[in-house]
Amino acid sequence: MPVLYYIRHGETDWNLQQRLQGHRDTDLNARGRGQAAHCGDILRELFVRDRRAAADCAYVSSPLMRARQTMELVRAALDLDPRDYQLDDRLIEISFGDWEGLTLPEIEARSPDAIAAREHDKWRFCPPGGESYRDVAKRVGAWYATVARDTVVAAHGGVARSLIAHFNILPHEEAAHADIRHGVVYVFAGGSMARYT
C-alpha cells in the first residue's frame, strides 16, 4: 500500500467564519499560507528521518484553489518546482450543495430538523443538492486504487475523513466526525494514521 502524506489546505477566511465551503473556490488567508509552508517544513523533516528525497514522491492536489495554493507552498518549502504536480477531481471537497456559503446556525435557522438529521447519520446524510460522506468515499477510494507510489496530497477535511473510513482506521460514522486540522501532516501507512505538527 503506498504511503500518503496528507495535508488539509491552509485556513481560509471562510474557515474563520465557519462557513461551509464545499466546492466553492476560496483562497488561503495569511495564516493559511503560513500553515501550508509549515507543512512543507514538517515534510522535509519526515523525509530526512526516513532517508528519502522529496522528489521520490508523487504530488497531487484537489483542483480547488485553496488546495492548489497549499501544494505550491509545500513544494516551494521542499525546494521543488511549485507548479509541478498533478490535479485530480476526485480529491475535491465534499459538496454541501445549497448549504455552501452558510454557517451551521444559519442552516439550522432555515431548516431546524436538517442539522439534527445530519448529526444523527453524518456518513449517509446528503444536504440538498450535495453529497454524503459515503459518496465522497467512493470517489476517493477509486482515486486511491490508481495510486502507484508514495504520494503527497493537498486536499480537504472531508476527503481525509473519507480516507480514514476507506482504510478502516475508524468506523464510518466516527470517521465522518474526525477532527482534521490545518497545519498538520497526516501520514496514512499500513492501515493506520499518524499526525505530525
Q: Which residues are catalytic?
A: 9, 93
CA-CA distance, 137 to 152, in Å (whole number)?
Answer: 19
CA-CA distance, 111 to 98, in Å (whole number)?
Answer: 12
CA-CA distance, 91 to 137, in Å (whole number)?
Answer: 10
Q: What is the DSSP string of 113-161?
A: HHHHHHHHSTTT---TTS--HHHHHHHHHHHHTT--S-EEEEE-HHHHH
